[in-house]
Structure 1
Amino acid sequence: MKFKAPILKFEAELWSYYVAIPKNIGDQFIEGDNRRVKCFINGADPIHSALMPKGEVYSIYVKKDFLKKHGLSEGEEVDVLLEKDTSEYGIQVPESFLVLLDQDEEGANYFKSLTMGKQRTLIHIVGKVKNVDSQLAKGLAIMHHLKEANGEIDFKRLNVLIKEYNNRK
């Protein structure tokens, strides 16, 4: 589904910028509780997101870094292409993390027992760095933490483990 929409700014909310998705378009992508889509803005790499209700429209959050990288600004009209996100986790998973999930059955079982939101959070932690060695260190720390905590996440403890794993290089 292609259309044009402006980059808008939230007022006093956690997220800064968004693209408004008309309700009649967004409704076509919602299946039960699944609101996951891939949003391509001006042909750039996709933003994996959920359609978030905002008044009479849905919103797709757009990070400030994305706007800067692509030379976009508030109020600018952009080309939007929406596709249903049919991926397993609703987010792009780094290859390094997929390998860890394949190799560590116990860790993978704990990971798969988490809510989809927690899974995406952990995938995001791994994927936000582009260096494969750093991704592996974060992934190993996550798997270690999941096994150590029997599938429960303590983000303070996880951050300590990530720092420890990063310092092992």
Structure 2
Amino acid sequence: MKTDVFKITHIDKYNIFIPAEIFQPFADQKMNRVKVEISHQQKNIDFYAAIKRDKNSGDFKMMFSKAKQKELNLDLGDEFTIQLFEDTSKYGVDMPEELEAVLMSDYDAYQIFESLTKGKQRSIIYGVLRFKNSQQKIDKSLIMCENLKRGNHEPIKMFKLE
């Protein structure tokens, strides 16, 4: 399932508003997470996002980070193109290779990770993704696995040795 490519004007510094008629087929299928592709001035990004109904307008909205806006060189009032796709990923975000390899090498940690809610799984994945260096991702993944096995599931402490 996907939308056609459509144009949006950037009117809010924190959110993108999606017209109800565009997102409604996803909402009818109880899908609130999508893969998003945005283009502006020959720059393209794709990411996963949660979309919620805006109580005021009846349209739908998703958070749109300052980092993504900067990456696209997008200012308020600019027009950009967007396309939404059904999220067919397992976790609602792409799993980093380093984390996947560490989890595959530690069955107990993998079992615990799989038992967590989708939101906690995404938090862990995003926590690993914030590290740029591959070795750091591996190191933090190993620490996270040890913390999972110790019963420490708090996102703030997940990547620290105790």
Instruction: Classify the TM-score, shorter chain.
Output: 0.7 to 0.9
CA RMSD of aligned residues (A): 1.7
Q: Tell me if structure 2 keeps the 8 A contact 1:8–1:17.
A: no
What is the correspondence of 1:15-54 to structure 2 with a 5 Å cutoff?
16-30=13-27, 31-32=29-30, 34-42=31-39, 44-54=44-54
Summarize the Cα distance change of 1:5–1:136 in structure 2 as closer, same or farther, 3 Å threshold: same
Matching residue's letter, 1:26: F
What is the correspondence of 1:12-161 to structure 2 with a 5 Å cutoff?
16-30=13-27, 31-32=29-30, 34-42=31-39, 44-55=44-55, 56-149=58-151, 152-161=152-161
Identity %: 29
The TM-score with structure 2 as length reference comes to 0.86
Number of aligned residue pairs = 153
Summarize the Cα distance change of 1:65–1:114 in structure 2 as closer, same or farther, 3 Å threshold: same
Q: Tell me if structure 1 keeps the 8 A contact 2:38–2:81.
A: yes
What is the correspondence of 1:2-21 to structure 2 with a 5 Å cutoff?
2-9=5-12, 16-21=13-18
Aligned residue for 1:82, secondary structure, equals: strand
Unaligned runs of 5+ in 2: none
Whole-Å separation in 1 of the counterparts to 2:111 and 2:75? 42
Aligned residue for 1:44, secondary structure, equals: strand
Higher helix proportion, which one?
1
Deviations 1:80-131 (Å, cap 9, x if unpaired)? 0111110000101111111112111100100010000000010000012221
Aligned residue for 2:80, secondary structure, equals: strand
Matching residue's letter, 2:26: F
The TM-score with structure 1 as length reference comes to 0.83
Aligned residue for 1:157, secondary structure, equals: coil
Whole-Å separation in 2 of the counterparts to 1:4 and 1:46? 16
Q: Which runs of 4+ in 1 moved over 4 A?
A: none
Q: Tell me if structure 1 keeps the 8 A contact 2:124–2:155.
A: no
Summarize the Cα distance change of 1:8–1:159 in structure 2 as closer, same or farther, 3 Å threshold: farther
